[in-house]
Structure formats: structure tokens, C-alpha cells
Amino acid sequence: MTDSIFKSKLPNVGTSIFTKMSLLANQYGAINLSQGFPEFDVPDYLKSRINEAIVGGKNQYCPSMGLPDLLHEIGALVQRCYIENETRKMDALHSVTVTSGATEALWVAFQTIVRPGDEVIVFDPAYDSYEPAIELAGGRCRHVAMSAPDYAIDWNVVENTINHQTRAIVINTPHNPTGTLLVQSDMEILQKLVLKHDLYVISDEVYEHITFDGLRHESVLRYPELFMRSMVISSFGKTFHCTGWKLGYCVAPKALTDEFRKIHQYVTFCSFTPAQFAIAQMLKAHPQHMDELSGFYQQKRDVLVSALQDSRFEVLPSKGTYFVLVDYSEISDLNDVEFCHWLTKEIGVAAIPLSPFYQADLLNEYHQKHKIVRLCFAKHDETLLKAAELLCQL
């Protein structure tokens, strides 16, 4: 078999923009505000617990669905954050599955729901793992654009896009890369559409604990009827500054969870046992960590945004996540990929271009209208100030 006769299942996929930009940042010694990962270490308590778990011999397979203690703690967290009504009880044993990061959860969710020939609606700019996972499940993405500066969803366009092949809608709130949030009216319209057209929702909520200015995260888990047709995905990587541990989870009604677990057991069987022990204890001992995360990141956002105030970048509002978009049209005519390369090599700051988050058809329109890149502010204040100083010279 030679390369020339091997037919790729993903002919349009190359190396991810996050890998490319981090490599370039390292190569040129630039401050890396590109790939989203925290510069902070995991909390000391969590470090000690994972150390204890490894030294104490918790190193074998755990139950495929996840360690019972961790399932219980995730259930308690969901109940506390999103289910105000005491009559609705989270049944964690039957509706939560621990996964190897949100990436695995997304993959398994698409395999669970999408059948060959199905269409799945995604909103551009969209996180890069959705489309390949949907295609490998035999589905096809229908891209609906959200437009700067508010990146709101036009639900009339969504309804016009729905047809008899439409199987699911993917939402992501708080949203990577735009830092926007869906609001209650979005969720109510989504619920109506899903029930009317017999659809499913894959809800990527990995930044659920990072929202700013007192704004509330509108989890699908708050909406009982919507939840009955949804798979809600989160990641401990974002919450506990441990992106390299690759631990996440999926919450779904029992019938969907049963199907999800069938596939999860053959993708990985179970996820990293020591981290499950450690995170279960962290969730129990330090519930305030989740409550403090928004304040912690809001301060980071404010440091970067105010340091960029006198620059020629136009800073777009960031209401959640650890990302902020900036418009560089006053600074350069380069397209966003060229601009990010130039910025990394010549100025010493790495950013992420937005165009890789768009489908080709929507890209032309995007390039004509916008010159926008993404900055990650999950960094120490000194790093953010140093980067801003360089950016203010432009």
C-alpha cells in the first residue's frame, strides 16, 4: 500500500491550529496566548490527592462508567449548580459517565447519536473537534454562522436549516473562541425546536464555571425537557487547571447514557484512575473552588483588557471562557493566519486566528468583514502585562 492509493477518511483535516501555533510560539520564544491552557498549576490539595492515589496503589482499571465516588460528586455538583427544584433529583449512577477529557465525551456522543446520512447543525466559529467526529460517525455538518461582534444565534436561520435529515444541534456555551454566552431565551427557543423537530442536542459546556460580570451559565441541565434529548459535556481540565490529565464527563438521560456507555467502554474502557480518586476528593472538600473560578478569571480578563486599552486593537466583549477576541483591522491588512504568524515571529506574542473555526463557504464572508484573532488570558498577570506591552507598540 502506498500513500498515493490510500484514501483518507478526513482529507480536509491537517494539524490542529492549536498545535501549530504553540509550536511556532516555542520556536520563536514568543509569549504563548494561543493554545488555551492555564499557566497556573493545579491546586495543592489536588496534587497531594493524586500523589496519594498513585503511591497508595490506585493504579488499576476502575469501573468503565467512572469511579462511584466521582459519579456521586459530579451528581452533587450538577444538582447544586443547576437543579434548584428539589423534586428533580440527579441520578448520577445512571446519567453520568466519566471520560478521557471532553474530547472523548464529544467523540462518543457523536457516535451515539449520529447515523450515516444524518445532518448535524453546528455554529461557526466552531471548536475544531466537532466536524471530524461527526463525519467519522457518517454524518454531515450544516454550518450556521454567528456574526461579530455579538455572535448571537439567528434561530430563524436555524429553523430554515432543519430538514428531515437533521438529527442534532451542537451548542457550546460559554463559547470558544468568542467568549459569548447563550441566554435564557436561546435555551427556550432551542428547547422548542428540539421538541418540534425531534432532534438531539450535544451541549459542550467545558467552560461552565467561567462566566463574568455576574452572568449566569445557561446549562442545558437547567431545562428538564431539553435535557431529556441532550448530552451535556464538561471537562475538569478547565476547572482545575489540569488540561493534561484529560478527565471530563458526559451527563445524559439514562437511555442515552446506556448507549453512550456501550461505546465509551470500547473507546477507552475507563479513564485515568488516580485522577478520578483525586478529583472526587477535591469536589467534596473544596466545593468553593468552582464558585471562585469566575472571579479568578474575570480578574485576568480585566488585567489584559485594561492593558490593551491604549492599543490599536479593538477588544470584543468576553463574557465567559478564558479567551478574548481582538480586532486588528487598524494595525494590519494581513489575513488572520498571516497576522498570527507575523505577530509570533516579529512581535513575540502568539495568538489564534479565527478562520480555522469556520467552514470554507462561510470563510470568504468572514474574511471580507473581519480581522479578528483570539487571545488566551489563563496566564499570570506578569505574562499578560508583558504581552500587552508588546501589543501596545503596534
Binding site for ligand PMP (CB under 6 A): 36, 101-103, 127, 172, 176, 204, 206, 235, 237, 243, 248
Give the nearest distance from C-beta 353 to ligand GLN in angstroms: 12
Query: Which amino acid is it at 115?
Result: R
**What is the C-alpha to C-alpha distance for residues 338 and 197, in angstroms, rounded to an integer?**
42
Chain positions contacting ligand GLN, by CB under 6 A:
16, 18, 35-36, 176
Partner from ligand GLN, ligand PMP, none contacting 123, C-beta within 5 to 8 A by type: none
Give the nearest distance from C-beta 323 to ligand GLN in angstroms: 7
Partner from ligand PMP, ligand GLN, none contacting 204, C-beta within 5 to 8 A by type: ligand PMP
Partner from ligand GLN, ligand PMP, none contacting 326, C-beta within 5 to 8 A by type: none
Distances (CA, A) of 348 to 16, 190, 387: 21, 42, 8
**What is the C-alpha to C-alpha distance for residues 351 and 219, in angstroms, rounded to an integer?**
29
99 vs 311 by CB, closer to ligand PMP = 99
Partner from ligand GLN, ligand PMP, none contacting 185, C-beta within 5 to 8 A by type: none
126 vs 194 by CB, closer to ligand PMP = 126
181 vs 307 by CB, closer to ligand PMP = 181
- Which ranges constitute the DSSP H helices of the chain? 17-28, 44-55, 68-82, 92-95, 101-113, 130-136, 155-161, 184-197, 224-227, 236-239, 254-267, 273-285, 288-307, 336-342, 360-369, 381-392
133 vs 387 by CB, closer to ligand PMP = 133
Q: Cα Rg for the chain, rounded, in angstroms? A: 21
Closest by CA to 303, choosing from 374, 243, 387, is 387
Give the nearest distance from C-beta 376 to ligand PMP in angstroms: 10
Can you tell me whether residue 97 is helix, strand or coil?
strand
16 vs 299 by CB, closer to ligand GLN = 16
Can you tell me whether residue 20 is helix, strand or coil?
helix
Alpha carbon of residue 377 to chain centroid: 15
Partner from ligand GLN, ligand PMP, none contacting 235, C-beta within 5 to 8 A by type: ligand PMP
**What is the C-alpha to C-alpha distance for residues 42 and 356, in angstroms, rounded to an integer?**
30
Partner from ligand PMP, ligand GLN, none contacting 212, C-beta within 5 to 8 A by type: none
Give the nearest distance from C-beta 87 to ligand PMP in angstroms: 32
